[in-house]
Amino acid sequence: MKIGVLGPQGTYSEKAALRWCKSMPEARREAGLVYFKDFDEVLRAVESGEVDQGVVPVENSLEGAVTAVMDLLLHLDVVILGEVNLPVRHCLVGRGEGEIKIILSHPQALAQCRQYLRRNFPGVEIRTTGSTSHAAHLAQEFPEMAAIAGESTARDFGLQILAREVQDESDNITRFVVAGRGIPDASGRDKTSLVVYLQRDRPGALFSILQEFAKRQINLTRIESRPSRKGIGDYYFYIDLEGHVNDAIVKEALSEITKKASMVKMLGSYPKSKIDALQ
């Protein structure tokens, strides 16, 4: 089995993929990781069959949705097979040989450490990179650079830990999804993700959709809007709910929603993740 992740080695996506591998049946745990330069490449490799699965982040407890991934899940022919909730503990890492003039990291990591950077490095240039591990690689080469990355990434690149726990809140968790092809069977502890598109000129349209879940006591764990790019005020609604698409009550609700919405796309129906302690 091949699993696509954001590269190079040492990214949080890699950590999430390794946790996912541990949850697999023993015969399939020795999956090979394939590294890509961005999330678009990861998911397109899943769609084309170049890899069997891809692990990408969809939301962070501090910064919210990873919008690029949400848009890709809508438009590509892949489904969510599972999820991994990964606690994220950022460190400031570098060679520690002089004054820090530049701090680099992935945009999501920098955003999760925004207040720390503002307080402690107000005059330092902040640059974005394709991944936290790419930032660590650059910090390895230049003494005036430091990176926001994980502790294990610092070890991999031979860097010093200049500061620990630099994220703005200690309870920092990123939710990753595992994309593939085909919906897994119900486990009894499932989540279903879908996208609903409504006609803009229908008053009460969103309420009528949510009402179908409420009257069947289906719990919604997430609802988020994304612009349709068709005009101001026109949105796709991303919904996560408890239950499997093959559960009778969920199937009934989705049947009614399909009658009311302009478009309903099933993103996946899969076992819910438990939050693992970071090792």
CATH of domain 190-270: 3.30.70.260
Q: What is the pLDDT of residue 201?
A: 59
Measured distance CA(177)–CA(20) in Å, rounded: 10
Q: What is the pLDDT of residue 200?
A: 62
- Which pair of structure tokens corresponds to residue 257? 């929603």
- Is 277's pLDDT higher than 60? no
Q: What is the pLDDT of residue 274?
A: 66
Answer for the pair 65, 221: CB distance below 8 angstroms, yes or no: no
Measured distance CA(250)–CA(186) in Å, rounded: 12
Q: What is the pLDDT of residue 153?
A: 92
First to last CA, the chain: 25
The pLDDT tens digits of the residues spanning 212-244 come to 999 999 999 999 999 888 877 788 999 999 999
Measured distance CA(62)–CA(64) in Å, rounded: 6
SS3 166: coil
| Closest-CA residue to 101 (of 148, 149, 144) | 144
Cβ atoms within 10 Å, residue 35: 17
Answer for the pair 195, 209: CB distance below 8 angstroms, yes or no: no
Q: 39-48 vs 67-75: helix axis angle to the nearest 10? A: 20
SS3 155: helix
Mean pLDDT of the chain: 92
Q: What's the pTM value of the predicted model, to 2 decimals?
A: 0.87
Number of alpha carbons in the 13 Å side-chain half-sphere of residue 276? 19
Q: Judge whether 2-87+172-180 and 91-163 match in fold.
A: yes
Strand 160-163 relative to strand 220-227, pairing: unpaired
Active-site residue, 174 included: yes
Catalytic residue among 36, 157, 176, 213: 176
- Is 111's pLDDT higher than 50? yes
Reply yes or no: is the peptide bond before residue 8 cis, omega within 30 of 0: yes
| Closest-CA residue to 66 (of 135, 15, 12) | 12
Measured distance CA(38)–CA(131) in Å, rounded: 8
Answer for the pair 269, 184: CB distance below 8 angstroms, yes or no: yes
Taken as a whole, the chain contains a residue count of: 279
**Residue range 144-149: mean pLDDT, rounded:** 96
Domain positions in the chain: 2-87+172-180, 91-163, 190-270
> Residue 26's pLDDT band (boundaries 50, 70, 90)?
low
Q: What is the pLDDT of residue 4?
A: 97
| Closest-CA residue to 239 (of 266, 203, 270) | 266
Catalytic residue among 129, 153, 174, 192: 174
The pLDDT tens digits of the residues spanning 242-256 come to 999 999 999 999 999
Active-site residue, 258 included: no
- Which pair of structure tokens corresponds to residue 196? 């609903």
Lowest mean pLDDT among 96-105, 139-148, 230-239: 230-239
Answer for the pair 148, 91: CB distance below 8 angstroms, yes or no: yes
Burial class of residue 114 in the structure, from the number of CB atoms within 10 Å of its CB (0-12 exposed, 13-18 middle, 19+ buried): middle
Question: Tokens 């590269």 sit at which residue?
Answer: 7
Which class does domain 2-87+172-180 fall in?
alpha beta
Answer for the pair 172, 64: CB distance below 8 angstroms, yes or no: no
The helix, strand and coil proportions of the chain, stated in percent and rounded to the nearest 5, come to 30, 35, 35
The domain 91-163 having CATH identifier 3.40.190.10: the answer here is yes
